[in-house]
């Protein structure tokens, strides 16, 4: 059985939650491999709506093992609250259904404080961070001063890790005009939360290897989108981790051979939350209409998303950098009723034509989209579950997207309901 990696192929908010939930019914293991609780997945299961941030989407499905991999940064207090919330909705979560990698870095209160302080005092260019401490925690991981899940099990080790972190952070805080961190209070908080986290701790790399050898289906779940990747995104307006599919291996302890199908989630138009370049952004009635019909507000922040036409040049890029096997095209129904649709095929830059978005920020800012137009459709695609239920012009639009991005559609989503999905290629099939 194939193991599947699900990645967002735009700037996030592509509808990964529904697709992961749809796939997780057939998976044995669902593993988160990067990001933090700045991610947000909304799952609609029957009449119940679940909003997940730290927990893998598989937790709402009985009989599945959900895994938080070492590539994730974890706020332990948020995790405990999220578990309580999901349990209150009738979901059973135990150490048999949820595992956290022992080498997972922990987001501590001072990470969020630093995140917010730097963003508020940055007079040059705001990044658009959610202020939840994800970036500072990844910085500490690379700086070898982060506290990891396993450190909670030994008090002497915990104190050493805290002291190392405070040497760095108190110096930063002094420069930002913040009070020093209360060492004793922080240790008390960590000792209090430790049992609630440690009961889920496990050598995830070992468990996943055993599951793979046993022929179990593993679904690797990413957060955000590939255009927010720390290396291949629109830097510096990016997240602090690698988002592309290759991170699924490093972020769980699996070898790259474990990745057998990469499913890129792609919205039928383009959205972005926060700051940064957005070549096809619409600041007109069409942009407003996309936002209203698509209910474009962030799951985590509630922020209104910026909306624009589908950018095939950008998705073509992310299909390459993530090695996408097939895409899941979501929210096709939001385009219902548009008389004319536009697709960006490339960019004009200083008199030249490019088929990709350049790396340099100044060049990105000068890029203007090159569009081709297609007729829209008046009929509704909402809830369609077969090609026969789609208008001819909608099918033409999907086929043109495939041609322009150089990647086939494996799944087509026509509403937030998990069963309103047209299966073209089964990602789990060998």
Which residues are marked as active site?
Answer: 13, 41
Max Cα-Cα span within the chain: 67
Cα torsion for 393, 272, 311, 295, to the nearest 10°? Answer: 0
Six token digits for residue 169? 């952070």
SS (H, E, C) the chain: CCCEEEEECCCCCCCHHHHHHHHHCCCCEEEECCECCCCCEEEEECCEEEEECCCCHHHHCCCCEEEECCCECECHHHHHHHHHHHHHCCCCCCCCCEEEECCCEECCHHHHHHHHHHHHHCCCCCCCCCCCCHHHHHHHHHCCCCCEHHHHHCHHHHHHHHHHHHHHHHHHHHHHCCCCCCHHHHHHHHHHHHHHHHCCEECHHHHHHHHHHCCCCEEEECCCCHHHCCCCCCCCCCCCCCCCCCHHHHCCCCCHHHCCEEEEEEECCEEECCCCCCCCECCCHHHHHHHHHCCCECCCCCCECEEECEEHHHHHHHHHHCCCCEEEEECHHHHCCCCEEEEEEEEEECCEEECCCCCCHHHHHHCEEEEEEEECCCCCCCCCCCHHHCCHHHHHHHHHHHHHHCCCEEEEECCCCCCCEEECCCCCCC
Q: How many angstroms separate the CA atoms of 228 and 314, rounded?
A: 12
- In the block, tokens 């910026």 appear at 306
Q: CB of 153 within 8 A of CB of 194?
A: yes
Q: How many angstroms separate the CA atoms of 388 and 392, rounded?
A: 9
- All residues at 6 or more sequence positions from 415 whose CB lies less than 8 Å from its CB, including other chains: 333, 382, 383
């Amino acid at each position: 059985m194939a193991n599947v990696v699900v990645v967002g192929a735009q700037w996030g908010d592509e509808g990964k939650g529904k697709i992961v939930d749809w796939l997780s019914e057939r998976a044995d293991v669902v593993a988160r491999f990067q990001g933090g609780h700045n991610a947000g997945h909304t799952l609609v299961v029957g009449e119940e709506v679940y909003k997940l941030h730290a927990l893998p989407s598989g937790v709402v499905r009985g009989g599945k093992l959900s895994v938080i991999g070492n590539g994730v940064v974890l706020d332990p207090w948020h995790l405990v609250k999220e578990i309580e919330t999901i349990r209150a909705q009738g979901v059973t979560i135990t150490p048999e259904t949820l595992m956290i990698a022992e080498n997972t870095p922990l987001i501590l209160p001072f990470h969020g404080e630093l995140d917010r302080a730097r963003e508020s005092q940055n007079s040059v260019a705001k990044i658009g961070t959610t202020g939840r401490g994800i970036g500072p925690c990844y910085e500490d991981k690379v700086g070898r001063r982060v506290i990891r899940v396993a450190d909670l099990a030994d008090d002497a080790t915990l104190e050493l890790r805290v002291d190392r972190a405070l040497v760095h952070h108190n110096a930063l805080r002094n420069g930002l005009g913040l009070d020093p961190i209360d060492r004793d209070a922080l240790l008390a908080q960590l000792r209090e939360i430790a049992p609630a986290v440690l009961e889920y701790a496990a050598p995830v790399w070992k468990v996943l290897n055993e599951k793979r050898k046993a022929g179990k289906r593993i679904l690797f779940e990413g957060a955000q989108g590939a255009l927010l990747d720390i290396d291949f995104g629109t830097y510096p307006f990016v997240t602090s981790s690698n988002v592309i599919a290759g991170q699924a291996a490093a972020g769980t302890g699996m070898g790259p051979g474990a990745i057998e199908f990469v499913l890129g989630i792609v919205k039928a138009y383009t959205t972005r939350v926060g700051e940064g370049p957005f070549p096809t952004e619409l600041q007109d009635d069409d942009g407003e209409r996309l936002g209203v019909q698509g209910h474009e507000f962030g799951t985590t922040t509630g922020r209104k998303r910026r909306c624009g036409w589908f950018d095939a040049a950008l998705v073509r890029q992310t299909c390459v950098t993530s090695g996408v096997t097939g895409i899941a095209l979501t929210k096709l129904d939001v385009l219902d009723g548009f008389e004319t649709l536009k697709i960006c095929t490339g960019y004009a830059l200083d008199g030249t034509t490019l088929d990709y978005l350049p790396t340099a920020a100044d060049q990105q800012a000068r890029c203007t989209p090159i569009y081709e137009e297609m007729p829209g459709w008046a009929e509704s695609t909402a809830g369609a579950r077969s090609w026969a239920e789609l208008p001819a012009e909608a099918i033409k639009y999907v086929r043109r997207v495939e041609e322009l991005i150089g990647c086939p559609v494996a799944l087509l989503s026509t509403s937030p309901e998990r069963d309103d999905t047209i299966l073209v290629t089964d990602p789990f099939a060998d």
